[in-house]
Structure 1
Amino acid sequence: MSRFICLLSLCGLLVACGEDVNPNYQEEVADPEYFHRSVKQLTDVIVHDIFSPPVASRIYSYSSIAGYEALAAGDPNLRSLAGQIPHLEPAPAPPAQTEIAYPLAAVVAHLKVGKSLIFSEDRMDEFREQLLAEIRKVGMPAEVFDASVAYGDAVADHVIAWYDGDMYKQTRTFPKYSITDDESKWQPTPPDYMDGIEPSWMKIRPFALDSANQFQPPPPTEYSLDPNSQWMKEVMEVYEVYTGVSKEESAERQAIAQFWDCNPYVSHTVGHLMFATKKITPGGHWVNIAAIAARKADADFARTVETYAMTSMAMFDAFISCWDEKYRSKLVRPETFINRHIDQEWRPLLQTPPFPEHTSGHSVVSRACAVVLTDLYGDNFAFDDDSEEEYDLPTRSYPSFLAASEEAALSRLYGGIHYRPAIDYGVTQGEAVGNHLLQKVETRAVITEERPR
C-alpha cells in the first residue's frame, strides 16, 4: 500500500511539474524501428562520405557493438561481448538506483560511435536531435530520459577508447602498395588508375579471428601465357562469360552483376565531363539484408540489435581475412591481363575495384554474413532484397541467405572482375570466418530452441 501511495505521489509530482508521463514508456521506446532508422542514417552518411568497403565495415561494427553493449547492460537475456572479444573490457556499469531506458541508451551509443567514425558529423547530429525529440514524445520521465542518454554516451566513449587501439590510425601512415614489373601482379586499372586500397588492412585487430591468416585460402592458379594452361582457361571464362548464352541468360547475368556491384565510387567520363556515382558497399548491402530479415521476422529490439552486431562483426573479420590474401597473392585483375594479351578494347561490365584480385571480397564477406544470419533466422529464410531500389535496380528474391551469398559471389564473374578460383575459394574462406565467429561469440545468455547450436 505504501509503495502504491509513493507511486501516486511521484505521478502527481510529475504532473504538477508539467510532465505528462506515459506508464508504458519502456515498452514504446523499445520499438526496433528506432535502431533500424539509426543504422540506415549511418549507411546514408557512409555512402555520402565515400568510405572504402573495409573502412565501412569498421564503422558498422563498432557502432553496432556500442548499441549492443548498452542494451546488454540492462537485458539479462543478452551476454556482453566483453571477454568473448578478448580485447574488449566490460562497459561502464549503469548508475545504481537510477532507472535506465536501455533501448534509448543503445540508440544513443550507436549514433555517437557512428558519428566518431565518419566525416559528415553535422548529418549525424541533426538526425540524433530529431530522433531524440521524437523519443521524448514517448512520455518517459525527464530524469529517466537524461540518465539513459548519459549512459548511452558513456558506453559510446568506452567503445571509442577501445577502437582507438585497433591499429587503424597507424595504418594511415603505412606505405602505399608498390607496383612491380611482374605482370602477374596487380596493376591500377582504368578509368582512374587508383592506388591499391588498404594494403595494410590485415594488420587491423580482428574481433574473433586469432590472426588475419587463420583461414588462409589456397593460392590462385599459377600465372601462365600458355593457351592450354589452367590459368588461361580461367581468363577465358571471364572474357567469354556472355558468349554463347541466350539473350535472356545474358540479361540475367548482367542484372545479377549490377545488383551486387556495391562499388562505393564509380567514376564516369562523358566527353570532357567527369562525375562519380555513389552506392552502398558490399557490407552495407548485407547490413540492409540484416534489416530486411529482422523486420520480416518481427524481431524485437534485442534481436534487432543482436542481428546488426553479429552481421557487422562477421563482415569486419571477413574483410581482414580477405585483404590478408589479396595483398599476399597480389594477383592481376582480368581487365589488365585481357587488355595486354587478348583484347586491348575489352572492358568488364563492372568497373574494376582498386585492389588485387584474389580472393573475391564479395565472396568472403557475403558468405560470412550469410552464415551468421542463417544462425539467427534459419536455413530457409526466404526474403525479398530491395537494397538496391534506391539506386534504380529492382528487387531480387532469394530462398535463403546462403543462396543470396552464392549469387553475390558469382556476380563478380558476371561483372568481369574476378576469376573463378577467387570466387570459390572466397566462399569457403567466408564460411570459415562466419562459423568461427559463431563458435567464439555467444550473444544469448540462454541458448533456446529458436537458435540451436
Structure 2
Amino acid sequence: MRFLPTLFLILLCFPAAAQRSTGGTGGVPSTELFHRAQKNLTRTIVHDIFSPPVASRVYVYANVAAYEVLVRNHKQYKSLYGQIPGVPDLARIPTPGQINYPLAALYALFQTGGKMVFSEPLLQDSAAVILQEMHETDPAVYQNSLRFGQAVSDSILRWAAQDHYPETRRRRRYTYSKAPGKWVPTPPGYFDAVEPYWNQIRPMVMDSAQQFKPAPPPAFSTNKESEFMKQAYEVYDRTRQMPPEHTLIASYWDCNPFYLNTQGHLNFATKKLSPGGHWMSIAGQAAATANLDWPATAGAYLLTSIALFDGFISCWDEKYRSQLIRPETVINTYIDEKWRPLLQTPPFPEYTSGHSVISTASATVLADYFGKDFTFIDNTEVEYGLPERRFTSFRQACDEAAISRLYGGIHYRAAIEEGQIQGEKVGQLVLDKIRLRP
C-alpha cells in the first residue's frame, strides 16, 4: 500500500474540525484562504533563506499545481498542457469521485511547495489549519479532494525534477575571474557567488536562457571621463545626499533574504522576503482588490510566477557572462574608501539588475491581466516596519523598484535600464506564449 503523506493523514483523521460551517460541497470558499496559503508559502521560503532564483522555482511549480487543479472544473480556462513544453497532461488523472476543487488546489499547492522547501513541517502546520477552514462537510468529498490534489502534485513534481536543478546542486564552487572590472565578493559577509549556474535551469516559456541577451554594459575603465566611471560617480554622488523619499524607496524595495548585521565580533542575520516574494504579494493584493474568483486568482499568481522564474534565468545568464564589478568595490577602490551603500550589496555580479528584470517582467503580465491603470495599495513591507505605498499602475511600481537599486548604491544606471528592457521582453513572451482562456 502506498505511503500517504503526513499532512494527508492528519487531515483525514480530523475531518470534524472542518464541519463548523455550512459551506459543504455546494459552497465556494473565500479566495482569502488562497491568499493566506500563498503568504504561508512565502513565510516558509523566508524562514529557509532561499535565494531569489530558488524562491522563484518554489513559487512557479506550486502555482502550476494549484492552477491545473482548478482548470479541471472551469472549462473557460485552459490547461498549461501544450503551452509549456513538458507540462504533463493532467486531464489523464482520474477524479476519485466528487471533488471540492478549491480544497484540492490548496492541497496541491502545499504539497508541491512543501517538497521544495527545507522546513516542510512548518508549511504543513499552516496547511492543516487553512485546509480545515475550507468547511467541507462531506468526509468522502474531503478525502477525494486531497487524493486528487496529491495526484496532481506528484505529477508536477516529477516534471519539476527534470529542470536540471538537482544537477546545479552538484556543480563545483564558482571560480572568480581575476581580470580588472570583474565581480568579487563584497563586505560585510564576502559571501560566495549565488547560483552561478542558474542559466542551466529549464525555462518555462523562453527557448533558452540566452534568448533575451541584453546589450553589454559600459566597458570597465578607471578613466573619469569614461562612461563606466561616470555611472560609478552617479551612484556615489546620488547616495551621499538623498532626500528622505529616495531613502524610503531604497529600503522599501530592498527585499534582501539575508541581511547580515555586524556589531563588533557579533554577526546575525535579518530575514526578509525576496524580490519575487514581493511581486507575488502584489499579484495577490491586486486579485483581492479586483475580487477575482478562484481560477482567476490562480491565474494572476501563475502568470506572475512564470514571469519571475524566466526573468531570473534570463538575468542570471547575463550576470555570470559579464561578471561586472559592483559599485561598492569600484567606489571604495577608486573614489572613496570610506563610502558604504545604503543597501547591503548582494553576493552576485552587478549586470543586469535582477530587481529591474523581474519587477518589469511581473508588471508587464499584471498590467495585461488587470489593466494598465490599475491602482493598488501595496502593504507587503508593513510587517517589516515600512509603510504602505500607493501605486497608480504596475509600471509605476516596477519603475520605482528598478531605480531603488541606484538609490541603494548597489547598481549602475545601465544595469537598471537594460534590466527593464530585458524584463519587458520576458513578460511579453509570457503573454505571447500563455493563454489562460481559449
Q: Give yes or no for the alignment of 1:277 onto 2:270.
A: yes
Q: Return the TM-score normalized by structure 2.
A: 0.93
CA distance in 2, matches of 1:408, 1:57: 17
**Contact 2:96–2:148, Cα closer than 8 Å, also in 1:** no
Aligned counterpart, 1:422: 415
Identify which of 425, 434, 437 aligns with 1:441.
434
Answer yes or no: is the 8 Å Cα contact 2:93–2:151 preserved in 1: no
Tell me whether 1:66 sits opposite 2:65 in the alignment: yes
Show the counterpart of 1:146: 143
Distance 2:391 2:426 in 1: 22
Residue 26 of structure 1: how far off its partner (Å): 3.9
Find out whether 1:370 has 2:363 as its counterpart.
yes
Distance, in Å, in 2 between the alignment partners of 1:28 and 1:97 is 20
Spell out, residue by residue over 1:380-409, the C-alpha distance to the aligned partner (whole angstroms, 9 max, x if none): 011111110000011111110011000000
What one-letter code is carried by the residue in structure 1 that aligns with 2:181? S
Q: In structure 1, what is the equivalent of residue 126 of structure 2?
A: 127
Counterpart amino acid of 2:405? R
Which amino acid in structure 2 is aligned with residue 113 of structure 1? T
Of residues 207, 211, 214, the one that matches 1:210 is 207
Alpha-carbon shift at residue 183 of structure 1 (Å): 2.2
Q: Secondary structure at the match of 1:373?
A: helix
Q: How many residues were matched structurally?
A: 422
Secondary structure at 2:268 match in 1 = strand
In structure 2, the residue matched to 1:40 is 39
- Is 1:258 aligned to 2:251, yes or no? yes
1:146-203 per-residue CA deviation (whole Å, 9 max, x = no partner) reads: 1111000000000010000000000011122212221210000000101110000000
Q: Indicate the residue corresponding to 1:340 in structure 2.
A: 333
Q: Which runs of 5+ in 1 are unaligned?
A: 1-18, 446-453
Q: Is the 8 A contact 1:185 1:332 kept in 2?
A: yes
Q: Deviations over 1:347-383 (max 9, x none)?
A: 1000000000000000000000001111110000111
Deviations 1:212-267 (A, max 9, x none): 01011101001111111111110000000145x6xxx6111110000000000000
Secondary structure of 1:193's counterpart equals coil
Is the Cα–Cα contact under 8 Å of residues 41 and 123 in structure 2 kept in the other structure? yes
**Partner Cα distance (2:104, 2:196) in 1:** 36
Unaligned runs of 5+ in 2: 1-17
**What is the letter of the counterpart of residue 281 of structure 1?**
S
Contact 2:363 2:395 in 1 (8 A): yes
Whole-angstrom distance in 2 between the partners of 1:220 and 1:20: 60
Q: Distance in 2 between matches of 1:71 and 1:399?
A: 31
Does structure 1 retain, via aligned residues, the 8 Å contact 2:88–2:156?
no
Q: Mean Cα displacement is larger for which, 175-184 or 372-381?
A: 175-184
Amino acid of the structure 2 residue aligned with 1:175 = R
Where does residue 400 of structure 1 map in the other structure? 393
Q: What whole-Å deviation, never above 9, does each CA across 1:106-153 have from its counterpart, x for those lacking one?
A: 100000001000011111121122222222xx2432111111110000
Q: How does 1:182-201 map to 2 (within 5 A)?
A: 182-201=179-198
Check the 8 A contact 1:92/1:158 in 2, yes or no: no
Q: Which amino acid aligns with 2:350?
A: E
Tell me the SS of whatever aligns to 2:396: helix
- The alpha-carbon distance between structure 1 residues 48 and 339, as it changes in their structure 2 partners (threshold 3 A), is same
Root-mean-square deviation over aligned CA pairs: 1.7
Secondary structure in 1 matching 2:92 = coil
**In the alignment, what sits opposite 1:14?**
none
TM-superposed deviation, 1:100: 1.1
CA distance in 1 between partners of 2:236 and 2:21 (Å): 64
CA distance in 1, matches of 2:27, 2:251: 40
Seen in structure 2, the aligned counterparts of structure 1 residues 361 and 344 have a Cα distance that, compared at 3 Å, is same
SS at match of 1:28: coil
Task: Give 4+ residue runs of structure 1 displaced > 3 Å after superposition.
Answer: 19-24, 26-30, 92-97
Conserved? CA contact 1:64–1:110, under 8 Å:
yes
- SS state at 2:377 partner: strand
SS in 2 for 1:209: coil
Please say if 1:358 is aligned against 2:363. no
What is the alpha-carbon distance in structure 2 between the residues aligned to residue 139 and residue 272 of structure 1? 54
Alignment counterpart, residue 165 of structure 1, candidates 162, 167, 170? 162
Rounded to whole Å, the distance in 1 between the matches of 2:45 and 2:111 is 14
The percentage of aligned residue pairs carrying the same residue is: 48
Cα distance in 2 for residues equivalent to 1:386 and 1:97? 40
Report the equivalent of 2:97: 98
> How far did 1:103 drift?
1.1
Paired residue type of 1:115: G
Pair 129,20 (structure 1): closer, same or farther in 2 beyond 3 Å: closer
Residue 5 of structure 1 corresponds to: none
Shift of the alpha carbon at 1:87?
1.4
Rounded Cα–Cα distance in structure 2 between residues aligned with 1:421 and 1:318: 17
Return the offset for 1:20: 7.5
- Closer, same or farther in 2 for the Cα pair 1:97/1:53, shift >3 Å? closer
Amino acid at match of 2:141: V
Task: Encode CA deviations 1:401-430: one digit per residue, 9 max, x unaligned.
Answer: 011000000000000000000000000000
Residue of structure 2 equivalent to 1:3: none
Cα drift, residue 273 of structure 1: 1.8
Does structure 1 residue 296 correspond to structure 2 residue 295?
A: no
User: How far, CA to CA, are the matches of 2:281 and 2:130 in structure 1?
Assistant: 20
User: C-alpha separation between the residues in 2 aligned to 1:68 and 1:195?
Assistant: 36
**Per-residue CA distance 1:23-61 (angstroms, 9 max, x = gap):** 853453442112111111000011111000000000000
